[in-house]
């Protein structure tokens, strides 16, 4: 099973790289899946620029097909999201909106961070995931800029946060595996 840990910010000075790497470091110790950090900044996605929405037809532009190929290969996701103005980042929402079928039948967990632990950003993402036929798991990680970062800058998670990551990853891995039947090509289950 392959699980992507997706960074949710592209801005300079972002914290999502450090948070995603921390989650990755904890995840690889588990040995239950292949975990990979997927940095949306490295894909260079512009604001959505395809001729039609992905629910109508797959994108055809090179940046879209490269992003689609990356996402298609994963069984589940962990979204690392900042909270900006009570919501997720525009960069993450834009990256999600480039694709449609590539998300279907997979699982997702969330790591939010911000003044209020990113909880409102995660709630937005849960609504989006439902429309994309992604099973989102209940346990989530909420990192406070006040208690899980030094001077609101450097990541220094409180000890209990490791347990929160473990609980979230337990569910993501379980659901990612359980949903394989939905992702199997027609007739593959009968073979």
Give the Cα-Cα-Cα angle 37, 180, 120 (nearest 5 degrees): 50
Give the confidence band of 35 by pLDDT, cuts at 50, 70, 90: very high
Q: What is the pLDDT of residue 182?
A: 87
3-class DSSP state of 118: coil
Task: Give 134's DSSP letter.
Answer: E
Note whether 145 and 115 are within 8 A (CB): yes
d(CA 113, CA 128): 18
> Is the pLDDT score of 108 beyond 90?
yes
Residue 7 CB neighbours (<10 A): 28
**Contact between residue 75 and residue 103 where contact means Cβ atoms under 8 Å apart:** no
Rounded CA-CA distance 142/147 in Å is: 11
Q: What confidence tens digit (pLDDT) does each residue in 175-185 have?
A: 999 999 888 76
- Structural domains of the chain sorted by starting position, each given as residue range(s) with its CATH number in brackets: 2-183 (3.40.50.360)
User: Residue 155's pLDDT is what?
Assistant: 97
pLDDT score at 186: 52
In 10 A of CB 139, how many CB atoms? 16
Query: DSSP for 57-102?
Result: S---SHHHHHHHHHHHT-SEEEEEEE-BTTB--HHHHHHHHT-SGG
> Using CA atoms, how far apart are residues 132 and 146, in angstroms rounded to an integer?
33
Q: Which of 68, 124, 130 is nearest to 101 (CA)?
A: 68
Helix (H) or strand (E) holding 175: helix 160-178
Which helix (H) or strand (E) segment holds residue 23: the answer is helix 16-28
Mean pLDDT (whole number) for 41-47: 97
Helix (H) or strand (E) holding 4: strand 2-7
The predicted pLDDT at position 189 comes to: 46
């Amino acid at each position: 099973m392959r699980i992507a840990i997706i960074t949710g910010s592209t801005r300079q000075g972002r914290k999502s790289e450090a948070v995603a790497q921390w989650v990755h470091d904890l995840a690889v110790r588990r040995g239950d899946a292949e975990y990979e950090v997927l940095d949306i900044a490295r894909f260079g996605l512009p604001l959505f620029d395809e001729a039609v929405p992905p629910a109508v037809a797959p994108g055809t532009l090179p940046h879209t097909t490269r992003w689609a190929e990356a996402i298609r290969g994963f069984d589940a996701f962990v979204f690392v999201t900042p909270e900006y103005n009570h919501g997720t980042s525009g960069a993450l929402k834009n990256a999600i909106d480039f694709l449609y079928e590539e998300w279907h039948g997979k699982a997702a967990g969330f790591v939010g961070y911000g003044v209020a632990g990113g909880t409102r950003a995660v709630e937005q993402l849960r609504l989006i995931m439902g429309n994309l036929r992604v099973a989102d798991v209940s346990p989530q990680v909420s990192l406070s800029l006040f208690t899980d970062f030094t001077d609101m800058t450097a990541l220094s998670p409180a000890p209990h946060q490791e347990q929160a990551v473990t609980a979230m990853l337990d569910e993501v891995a379980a659901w990612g595996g359980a949903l394989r039947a939905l992702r199997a090509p027609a007739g593959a289950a009968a073979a």
